[in-house]
Amino acid sequence: MSRIAMDPDQVRAMAKAASQTSQSLHNHMSLIVSTARGADWQSQAREEFMDRLESLSRITAQSMIALQLMGNAATQKANQWEAKANRFGSSLESIGSLWSSFLDNLNNTWQGLLDSIGKVAIGGIAVIVGGIGTIGGWIEKIPFPWERTGTPAPYKIAPDPEPDPAEPAPAPAEPAPVETKPYPQPPNQVNLKDTNDVRSCARYAAARRPDLGSTSEGLSKEAYKEKYPGNFEYEAAANYRHKFADKAYQIGEGEKGNLKDAIGVGYAITWDPGYKSNSTYGHVAIVEKVHDNYITISEASKVNGIYVYRTRDIQFDELDNQNVWLIP
């Protein structure tokens, strides 16, 4: 068994805890914003409060991304040193792109936080924050605990055997066939309209994106059931994926980190009944923003028994599911 200068399992556990904390923070912030939007309070003070709350929500979202990237970076660090222990003398694998992505997000979050604080007045005195440069310059210099001076280098008990020179070199691998994607590339443009219709998730989606139309195609319940016996319940939001079966698609592991190439603003997203949605009707929402590994949606959603408008982020792991469909 290889001996290494740190416990990779503990580091991975720390990274997992960071990801779980990030998700918990996201859920709490989404609930706070949704509750504030639904409060019966009309005044100029409310508008000012909501503006600041939205700003704080965006900064919190950036902080959650940075926390997830920090966990991913720690996980790859653990994998590198584990590989180092298994083959002493090999060079460390590069995590430059992941680390740079983490630093970029942390820089943006830090600057956004400074900008937000700078606009807040406490007792009539504006808070002024300045003199702090980008965070990347100094955080790059912070070593992980197992990289400090004096930490024993990992070693391997026995070297790998030399390859037999008499063995013929393996034949080169056949080039992989070009994969045909089940979605438009690049993502197509969708026309959206502003709406205040939040009577249900399907009504909101159809008002925001008129080409969706009705989930039941204007048919009566009996006529719809007769025509589509295999579909979900009559007027179920999830039936949009049946209505647009010719172009509805799902994403997989191949789209991880590349959602901007697979999803466009204005796409509809549906959840089958029971999967993070109503057990009878499912759910539908509209994609408002697309990031590398998550999307931001708008929706009409029930909060304390009342439909309200809200936006929230959907992470890649929730999108990569057999019960989730996207409609260009």
Residue 38 confidence (pLDDT) above 90: no
Residue 325 confidence (pLDDT) above 80: yes
Higher-pLDDT residue of 194, 111: 194
Rounded mean pLDDT of 299-310? 91
Q: What is the CATH architecture of 201-327?
A: Alpha-Beta Complex (3.90)
Rounded mean pLDDT of 116-130? 40
Residue 86 neighbours by CB distance under 10 Å: 13
* Residue 325: strand pairing partners: 270
Residue 125 confidence (pLDDT) above 50: no
The pLDDT of residue 179: 58
Please check whether residue 327 is in contact with residue 247, taking contact to mean a CB–CB distance below 8 angstroms.
yes
Residue 120 confidence (pLDDT) above 50: no
Tokens of 129: 């924050």
DSSP state at residue 141: T
Domain assignments of the chain as residue spans, ordered by start: 8-147, 201-327
DSSP string of 248-313?
-B---GGGTT-GGGT--TT-EEEE-TTSSSBTTTBEEEEEEEE-SSEEEEEEEEEETTEEEEEEEE
Residue 294 confidence (pLDDT) above 90: yes
DSSP state at residue 147: G
- Could you report the per-residue pLDDT of 136-190, keeping only the tens digit for each? 444 444 454 444 445 454 444 445 556 555 666 666 666 656 556 788 888 988 9
Angle of helix 44-86 relative to helix 96-118, nearest 10 degrees?
160
